[in-house]
A = this chain, B = another copy of it.
C-alpha cells in the first residue's frame, strides 16, 4: 500500500480538524479505501513550522498547539521554515494549502499552489481565492505536470457538490445552477424571518462565530460571488472573473420586504446563479424571492444548497453544511481519496 506524504500549509481550524480526522480514521481509511498517509511537513504563519521527512506524530503536533508551543520546537524536526521554504524542501507528494489568504488577491495561497504544482506535487486547497481568480491557469499547470489540483472545500465546504457535478452528473449537460452558497447570510435571513432586525441578528451571528467582525464578505455577497465564479468556470466551462458578475448582498432586505414576500407565499434567499447558453454565461449574486415549493426555499439556518439544471435529469439539488471544522476537514480528505483512487493504485 502506498503511503501518501503530505505537506500542510496552514494548521488552524481546518488543519487541526483534518489532523484529528486522519488520526481517528487511520484504520478505516486503510481497510475501506486502501488509503494511508503521513504528514511530513506543516507550516503555519502563527503556529510555527516543522519538516520531518519520515513523518510527524499528529497527536504530538496537536498537543503542542493546544499547549501554546511553537511547532518550530517539534522534537527531531527542522523548524523555522516559511511556506515557500517548506514547499521547496519537503519530500511530500501532495500539498494541502489551507493557510490564511486574502480573497481579493488570492495571495499567498496562489503562489504556494503554483510552486507546488511546478514541483510536480498534487495540490488540494479549501482557499477560494486561487480557484476563483486563477482556475484555468492552475488546471493547465497541473495538467502539464501530470498532477491533480482539487478544491472541493471551496464550495459548500465538505458537501461534495463539485465532484457531484463533474463526476456523478458526467454524461448530463449542466445548463445552469442556482444556490444558497453562504451559510452566514442564510442563517441571518432565517432568523430575520422570525422578526429580528438586521443589526440585532448580525450581532448574534458574530457571537455564534458565523459572521466576522467586519462582515462585508458575507453580507455584501462577496463570499457567494467567489463560489459562483468557481462553479461557473469548473462546472459550466465558463471563463468569468469575479468582476464580471453583478453582486448584491442582503443589506437592503428589511423585515417589511420579508413580510410582503411571505404574504405572497414567497421567501427571501441570497441566490448565486449562472446559466450558459451557446457559450455565453449569465451569472449573478442577488436576493431573490422564491416560492415555498422551490427546494432552495426550505433550506434554513447555516445550511447551503445548490440546484443543477441538467438536460437528462432536470433539476437535481444537493443540500448540506457550508462550513465547520469537521466538514471542511472532510473536504480535504475527500480530495486526498480522489487523488488516491486516480493515481495511487
Contact = CB atoms under 8 A, between A and B. Distances in A.
Interface in A13-37: 21, 25, 28-29, 32-33
Contacts of A278: none
Interface string A93-106: 00000000000000
A169 B25 CA distance: 14
Nearest to A293: B300
Contact of A159 (B173, B313, B319, B326): B313
B319 A313 contact: no
The residue among A25, A158, A312, A320 with the most chain B CB atoms within 10 A of its own CB is: A312
Q: So how many copies of this chain end up in the complex? A: 2
A2 to B, nearest CB: 17
The residue among A311, A317, A330 with the most chain B CB atoms within 10 A of its own CB is: A317
The residue among A163, A169, A313, A334 with the most chain B CB atoms within 10 A of its own CB is: A313
Contacts of A327: 312-314
By DSSP majority rule, is chain A's interface helix, strand, loop, or mixed? mixed
A314 to B, nearest CB: 6
Contact of A337 (B158, B170, B326, B333): B170
A74 B172 CA distance: 30
Interface string A299-340: 110000000000111111111110010110110011001000
21 contacts: A28-B173, A158-B312, A158-B313, A163-B168, A167-B167, A170-B337, A171-B334, A171-B337, A293-B298, A295-B299, A298-B298, A312-B330, A313-B320, A313-B326, A313-B330, A314-B321, A314-B327, A315-B321, A316-B320, A317-B319, A318-B318
Given A21-B171, A171-B334, A315-B321, 10 more contacts: A25-B171, A158-B313, A163-B167, A167-B167, A292-B298, A293-B298, A312-B330, A316-B318, A316-B319, A318-B318
Interface of A: 21, 25, 28-29, 32-33, 158-160, 163-164, 167-173, 292-293, 295, 297-300, 311-321, 324, 326-327, 329-330, 333-334, 337
